């Protein structure tokens, strides 16, 4: 029997799970860090919109960035507070982000990564079969802020990550100025959501676009795309219920 198998056999299950989790988080941090260095350098400011449990917040902090982590789910925000509440470089904001400030109903799922303000997201992803077994069995009223308000309060970010389960176009609609770079989650069952995001960004500045499928942290193509080219990709994959990813936008020049 090899030494590593002996060690594994003698390790208590709880400790083995913690060690395995630590190893996974380390590999994740390395993968994410190498990818986001394209956009971020130590001391930069970034917004994590839809921070959830903070895996991207942790990555941005590890890159030496200042992070505004925004999350409306009470349970997730509690976890963020526990993990990052004492950090000088991380500011936590318990809110959703949308078109205008106010209040809105958040549809809560037992699978917290699927909680959303978008009824269309629920309808389309259950209808396609992607999340046919998912449930959204509770609602909670949450505060809504906007990207413009966050920029006014905290400054212009170098990068914005937006992952809000089909509500991305409402988030982008609350932005009235060009930002250096950002990402939006791309769900092919909601092509108009992605199109609206890209068109709004194009109205604010001269952007180019790329796509990363899943959690691969790899570009779909080495060359960045024009708006028209990215819209063709969205049309091509409209209705796809297996793939997902993130669309990235960066200002030219």
Q: How far apart are CA 203 and CA 250, in angstroms?
A: 14
| Mean of per-residue pLDDT scores for the chain | 92
pTM given for the model: 0.89
CATH number attached to the domain at 25-251:
3.40.50.150
Six-digit token string for 100: 């205008």
pLDDT digits (tens, 9 = 90+) for 26-49: 677 788 889 999 999 999 999 999
In terms of DSSP bridges, do strands 181-186 and 245-251 run parallel, antiparallel, or are they unpaired?
A: antiparallel
**108 bridge partner residues:** 138
SS (H, E, C) 112-125: HHHCECCHHHHHHH
Query: Count of CB atoms within 10 A of residue 53's CB?
Result: 17
Taking residues 72-77, what's their average pLDDT?
A: 98
Q: What pLDDT shows up at residue 167? A: 98
Share of the chain above pLDDT 90, in %: 85
Strand order in the sheet with 90-93: 90-93, 66-70, 45-49, 159-162, 181-186, 245-251, 207-213
Specify the residue for token string 């809504």. 144
pLDDT digits (tens, 9 = 90+) for 6-28: 445 555 555 443 444 455 666 77
Q: How far apart are CA 93 and CA 122, in angstroms?
A: 25
pLDDT digits (tens, 9 = 90+) for 155-181: 999 999 999 999 999 999 999 999 999
Q: What pLDDT shows up at residue 1? A: 44
pLDDT digits (tens, 9 = 90+) for 91-131: 999 999 999 999 999 999 999 999 999 999 999 999 999 99
Specify the residue for token string 């297996």. 242
Taking residues 207-236, what's their average pLDDT?
A: 96
Q: What pLDDT shows up at residue 10? A: 56
Question: 4 pLDDT exceeds 70?
Answer: no
The DSSP letter of residue 225 is B
């Amino acid at each position: 029997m090899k030494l590593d198998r002996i060690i594994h056999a003698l390790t208590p299950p709880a400790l083995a799970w913690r060690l395995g989790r630590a190893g996974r988080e380390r590999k994740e941090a390395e993968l994410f860090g190498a990818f986001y260095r394209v956009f971020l350098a130590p001391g930069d400011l970034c917004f994590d919109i839809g921070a959830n449990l903070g895996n991207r917040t942790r990555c941005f902090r590890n890159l030496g960035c200042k992070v505004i982590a925004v999350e409306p789910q009470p349970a997730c925000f509690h976890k963020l507070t526990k993990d990052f509440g004492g950090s000088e470089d991380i500011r936590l904001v318990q809110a959703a982000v949308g078109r205008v400030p106010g209040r809105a109903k958040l549809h809560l799922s037992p699978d917290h990564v699927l909680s959303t303000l978008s009824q269309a997201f629920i309808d389309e992803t259950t209808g396609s079969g992607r999340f046919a077994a998912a449930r959204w069995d509770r609602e909670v009223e949450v505060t809504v802020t906007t990207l413009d308000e966050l920029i006014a309060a905290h400054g212009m970010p170098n990068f914005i990550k937006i992952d809000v389960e089909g509500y991305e176009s409402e988030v982008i609609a609350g932005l009235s100025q060009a930002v250096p770079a950002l990402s939006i989650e791309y769900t092919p069952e909601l092509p108009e959501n992605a199109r609206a995001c890209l068109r709004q960004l194009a109205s604010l500045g001269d952007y180019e676009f790329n796509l990363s499928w899943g959690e691969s942290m790899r570009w779909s193509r080495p060359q960045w795309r024009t708006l028209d080219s990215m819209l063709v990709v969205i049309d091509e994959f409209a209705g796809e219920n297996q793939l997902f990813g993130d669309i990235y936008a960066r200002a030219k020049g």
